[in-house]
């Protein structure tokens, strides 16, 4: 079953609660680490020759491996065959293969990781009316943002390896940092909130990165 048909062109899969088999390229392995803090699965994307031409359907999906995570030895670029239950989880479509099958069809390219080119996104979809299906075409896929983004918040850096990004070259300013409190500051805050676009850059780890065995853990850089 092509991933585009599993994903469909709306927020929920048209094959929800069906058990299906897909064959695709592994793009990100998040099966877990020594602390068990990752997602217990991996992302895959459809091979180029099997993609459809519909711009409203995604070619990627997350596979939840569950208890199989400990025995999997996956590399980015491998082609795998996955059989599992299609379900909606945390607002995204996934294949739950925890009791299904995951098998290698072809290894990653020798000497390099052969991955599909990331989808180019000029700017984030407009979601001022709430969560919409505009993100659906990119769900589960590698993307390359064309905008410039800057770190505006790092409160969760030491606890979750996470930083908050906004478009542009300057971090967000509280209006009262640049003007006196009052009506003008309130209007500026409303304007900022109405047009706010935020990304969270997450290194996939959870838990306090500053304490415990073998801590402090290296923080994400780059």
Measuring CA to CA, which residue among 162, 38, 16 is closest to residue 84? Answer: 16
Q: Which residues of the chain have pLDDT under 70?
A: 33-37, 109-113, 125-133, 205-222
- Token pair of 81 as six digits: 């065959």
Distance of alpha carbon 185 from alpha carbon 179, whole angstroms? 7
> Could you tell me if 18 and 111 lie in one domain?
yes
> Could you tell me if 109 and 175 lie in one domain?
no
Q: What is the pTM of this model?
A: 0.79
- Token pair of 156 as six digits: 């969760």
Question: CATH no. for residue 97?
Answer: 2.40.50.200
The SS3 assignment for 62 reads strand
Q: What are 153-212's pLDDT values in tens digits?
A: 888 887 777 899 988 898 888 888 888 999 998 998 888 887 778 888 887 766 666 666
Please count the structural domains in the chain: 2
> Could you tell me if 88 and 192 lie in one domain?
no
26 lies in which domain range? 3-115
212 lies in some domain:
no
> Could you tell me if 76 and 157 lie in one domain?
no
216 lies in some domain:
no
Measuring CA to CA, which residue among 116, 175, 125, 174 is closest to residue 145? Answer: 125
16 lies in some domain:
yes
């Amino acid at each position: 079953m092509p991933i585009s048909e599993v994903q469909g062109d709306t927020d929920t899969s048209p094959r929800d609660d069906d058990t299906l088999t897909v064959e695709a390229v592994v793009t990100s392995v998040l099966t877990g680490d020594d602390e068990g803090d990752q997602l217990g699965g991996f992302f895959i994307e459809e091979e180029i020759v099997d993609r459809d031409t519909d711009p409203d359907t995604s070619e990627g999906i997350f596979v939840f491996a569950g208890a199989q995570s400990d025995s999997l030895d996956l590399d980015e670029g491998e082609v795998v065959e996955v059989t599992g239950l299609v379900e909606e989880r945390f607002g995204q479509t996934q294949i739950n293969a925890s009791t299904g099958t995951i098998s290698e069809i072809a290894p990653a390219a020798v000497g390099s990781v052969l991955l599909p080119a990331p989808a180019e996104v000029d700017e984030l979809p407009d979601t001022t009316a709430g969560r919409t299906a505009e993100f659906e075409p990119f769900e589960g896929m590698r993307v390359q943002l064309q905008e410039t983004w800057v770190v505006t918040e790092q409160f969760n850096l030491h606890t979750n390896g996470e930083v908050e990004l906004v478009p542009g070259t300057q971090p967000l300013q509280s209006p009262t940092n640049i003007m006196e409190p009052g009506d003008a500051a309130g209007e500026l805050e409303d304007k900022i909130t109405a047009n706010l676009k935020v990304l969270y850059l997450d290194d996939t780890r959870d838990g306090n990165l500053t304490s415990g065995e073998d801590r402090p853990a290296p923080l994400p850089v780059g």
